[in-house]
Amino acid sequence: MFEYDTERHYSKETESRVVVRFQDCDPLQHLNNAKYFDYFFNAREDQVPKLYGVEMIDFIRKYKAAWVVYNHSISYVRPARVGEWVRIMSRVIWHDHQTVLIEYYMTDDRKEELKTLLWTTMRYVEMENGKSTPHKGAVLEFLKAVTDPVDLENVGVKERIKTLKSQLLKN
């Protein structure tokens, strides 16, 4: 069961290293556009329990609520190719009383080349009736601890791609 620990340091970003599988690629040997979602969501699902000690089902059971996706914004910058090892990073970049925005991005294995950026917006809803509900108590505290804010009033997806590319070049 999830309990927020005020003494614990919660990492802002998750990271996974995965290989692009043959069965997930198109005839050009590029990762199929729809498969990026699977890679991103699976990577986050694998990392959140490791970093934060919590499974999504813990939130659902304790708070009788869950996040549901209502918007994606994805940009395919460079193709991920069959057999290639890639890095997948994710983080919460914004939240309010009932919504979160998760940023996912994929790079080459050396973290030198940005391949894809995905922003996924999710609403927190009650399991019983599917209606929006505010983040409460430990959920809100957890979100505050893990959010790595992006100034969304001045930064859109295109600007964020430029920033990430620039950061990768500096590493």
Say if 146 falls within a structural domain: yes
Say if 1 falls within a structural domain: no
Report the C-alpha gap between 115 and 137 in whole angstroms: 37
**Average pLDDT of span 125-152:** 94
Bridge-partner residues for 95, per DSSP? 100
**Domain membership of residue 96 as a residue range:** 14-170
Question: CA angle at residue 150 from 146 to 152, to 5 degrees?
Answer: 130
Say if 9 falls within a structural domain: no
**Average pLDDT of span 58-72:** 92
pLDDT of residue 136: 87
Report the C-alpha gap between 55 and 85 in whole angstroms: 26
86-90, 115-119, 131-135, 136-140: segment of lowest average pLDDT: 136-140
Say if 3 falls within a structural domain: no
Phi, psi of 104 (to 5 degrees): -120, 140
Given a cut of 80, whether residue 131 has pLDDT beyond it is yes
Say if 70 falls within a structural domain: yes
Say if 34 falls within a structural domain: yes
Report the C-alpha gap between 168 and 146 in whole angstroms: 22
Average pLDDT, the chain: 94
Number of folded domains that form the chain: 1
> Domain holding 66: CATH number?
3.10.129.10
pLDDT of residue 45: 93
Instruction: Give the position of tokens 């290989």.
Output: 19
Question: CA angle at residue 60 from 92 to 97, to 5 degrees?
Answer: 45
Report the C-alpha gap between 140 and 41 in whole angstroms: 22
- Check: CB of residue 76 under 8 Å from CB of residue 14: no
Say if 5 falls within a structural domain: no
Cα dihedral across residues 147, 88, 102, 159: positive or negative? positive
Helix (H, G, I), strand (E, B) or coil at 112: coil
- Check: CB of residue 127 under 8 Å from CB of residue 57: no
